[in-house]
Amino acid sequence: MNELDRGVEALKAGHVGKAREIFERECFDHADSAAAGYLSMMYFKGILPADRDTAIAAARLLWAATRDERPSAAHRLGTQYLSSRDLQVRAEGRRLVQKAQEADYPYAHCVMGILHWQEKAYKQAADDFRRYPQIRQDRKALPMYADTLEKLGRALEAADLYGVMWDSFHQDGAADKARDLYLQAGRPDQALAYAGSGTKGLDAEQLLKLAAACRTASDRKRALDYYRQALDRGVRCRFQIASLLRELGQLREAYETDCAGVQEGETRCGAGVFRYLLTHAEDADVQREWPEDRVDSLALLVENGSLREDIEDIRPALGVRLAEIYFEGRGVARSLRDSARCASWAPNDPKSLFYMGYAADQNQYPLLSREEGVQYIQEAADRGVPEALVDIGDRWERSDMIPRAIVCYQTAYGKGYKPAAIRIGDLYRDGKVGLILGRIPDRKTAQEWYDRGR
C-alpha cells in the first residue's frame, strides 16, 4: 500500500490528523496532485478547520501541484471550489472549470451547463450540454438538458431526451413529459410510445391528436378510447366515434352515437344516420324515430353540414332524396336548379334522369338543352318513373293523343302515384275519354278517380 492509499484509509477511519499529515507530505514533498486534491477537499468540506484565507490557499494546492496545468486537474479543482459556501472560492472554481472547458474537457462542459441552467441562461446551457458527449448517460445532467431545451421551445429535441430518461432510467414523470412534448411538436405517432403512462394530465386537444395517431396506425380500439375521453372533456367528436364503431362492426351503437350527435348539433353525424337509414330501412324502431319529414330534414342537414369525403359512399342515394325534396319544395323553397344539381350525384338513377330532364326542359339546368331534357324524361318514363310517365302523358294530352296519355297515367297510377289518378279524373270530367265520339263529361267516373287520387 502506498502513502496515498494510507492517507485515504486514515481518512475513512476518521483519523483526520494522520490523513492530513500524509496528504500534505505527498502534496508538497512529492507534488502528488491526487494528494493535493484530497487535502483541498478536506478543507472545502469542513473536515479540516480553516478561515477564508486558509480555504482559498488550500484551494490552490491542487492547481499548484499540477505543474502541467492539465484540464482534468483544473476541472477537478474547480468543481471542488464550486462546492464551497465562500463566494470568492466559488468564483475561482468557475474560472478553473471555464479554463478546462476552453481546453474541451468533456466534464467541464457538463458543469458549466449545470451552472448556466441554474442561472436560467438557457441558450448557454444548451450549448454546454450539447458539447458533453456523455449527456445521455448522465442521470443528473440529462433532466437539466431536457428542461433547457423545453424552455427554449425545442419540443421535439426535449421529447427525445425525456424519452431516453424513461427508456434508460424509468425516471418518474419522464414518459408523461415525452408524450406531451411529442404532441406539442406535432408527432402524435411518437407520443403513442409514451401514452401508456395514463391520460390524466392530457387536455382535449392532446387526446384528439393521440386518437388520430392511433387511427392512422389502425389501432381502432385505442383511438376509440381516446375519442371517448375527449368527448367527456366536452369535445364534439361523436362523428369520429361513430365512424370507428362502424369500422369495428358495431353498427347499432354507431347509429345511436350519430343520432346523439345530430341532437347536439354535430352536423357531420347526419351522414352516419342517413347511411344507417339506407341499410336498415325496414327496422321498425328506426322508422318510428325517423319519419319521412324528419328524414327530409336530415338529408338537408347532411348536404349543408358534411364534407364531401364524409358522404361519398351515400352520395347517390342522398342526391336522389335531395332532388325530390327540392323538386317538391318539402320544407324548403322549390328549386328545380337545386333539384337537378343533387340529381346529378346519381346520374344513372331513373328518378335523377327525370329531375335533371324536367329542370332542363324548364331552362333551369344549363348543363342540358331542352331537347336533351325531354330525352331524359322519356328515358325515365321508359324505366318506370311515375312522375316522368305523368309528364309524358301531359305532353300526349296537349297533342290530343288521349289514348297514349291515359296509358301513361294508368301506368303511373299502377305504380302507386296518386296524382296520376287526378289526371285521369280530369280526362273524364272534360269528356275526353269514355265515348268514341263527342265530348260528354262523365262526372261520376271522374269523381271515382278523384277519390282514388286523395
Express each pLDDT in 133-152 by its tens digit: 999 999 899 999 999 999 99
Instruction: Look at 241 and 208; give whichever has higher pLDDT.
Output: 241
Q: How far apart are CA 274 and CA 238, in angstroms?
A: 15
More reliable by pLDDT, 56 or 92: 92
Nearest partner of 412 among 371, 376, 380, judged by Cα: 380
Do 420 and 386 meet the contact criterion of CB atoms below 8 Å apart? yes
Whether this model's pTM surpasses 0.85: no
pLDDT more than 90, % of the chain: 40
CA 208 to chain centre: 4
When mean pLDDT is compared across 83-97, 216-230, 359-373, 381-395, the lowest value belongs to 83-97
Q: Are the C-beta atoms of residues 39 and 27 closer than 8 Å to each other?
A: yes
pLDDT in tens, 269-314: 999 999 999 888 788 888 888 988 899 988 988 888 777 777 888 9
pLDDT in tens, 347-367: 999 999 999 999 999 999 999
Could you state, in order of their start, the residue ranges of all structural domains in the chain?
A: 1-100, 384-454
User: What is the percentage of the chain residues whose pLDDT exceeds 70?
Assistant: 91
pLDDT for 375 equals: 96
Mean pLDDT, the chain, rounded, equals 85
> Which pLDDT band, with edges at 50, 70 and 90, does 199 fall under?
low
Give the model's pLDDT for residue 90: 82
- 228 pLDDT more than 70: yes
- What is Dmax (Cα atoms) for the chain? 148
pLDDT in tens, 39-50: 777 776 778 775
Q: Is the pLDDT of residue 104 over 70?
A: yes
Q: Which of 424, 437, 362 is nearest to 394 (CA)?
A: 424
Query: Would you say 220 and 245 are in contact if contact means Cβ atoms under 8 Å apart?
Result: no
Would you mind telling me the total number of residues written for the chain in this entry? Answer: 454
Distances (CA, A) of 165 to 138, 140, 148, 175, 194: 10, 10, 14, 8, 12
Q: pLDDT of 250-275, one tens digit each? A: 999 999 999 999 999 888 899 999 99
Q: What is the mean pLDDT of residues 444-449?
A: 90
Is the pLDDT higher at 41 or at 246?
Answer: 246
> With b meaning 16 or more CB within 10 Å and e meaning fewer, what string describes 83-121?
ebebeebbebbbebbbbbbeeebbbbbbbbbbbbbeeeb
Closest by CA to 276, choosing from 304, 295, 252, is: 252
441's grid cell: 263529361
What's residue 68's pLDDT? 46
Rounded (5°) CA angle 188-193-197: 105
Phi, psi of 188 (to 5 degrees): -60, -25
The stretch 72-81 carries a mean pLDDT of 73
- Give the C-alpha separation, 359 to 341, whole Å: 10
CATH of domain 1-100: 1.25.40.10
Q: What is the pLDDT of residues 315-358, one digit of tens each?
A: 999 999 999 999 999 989 999 999 999 999 999 999 999 999 99
Q: Around 103, how many Cα atoms within 13 Å sit in the side-chain half-sphere?
A: 15
pLDDT score, position 67: 47
Q: What average pLDDT does range 29-44 have in this prediction?
A: 73
pLDDT at position 76 is 72
The CA-to-CA distance between both ends of the chain, in Å, stands at 119
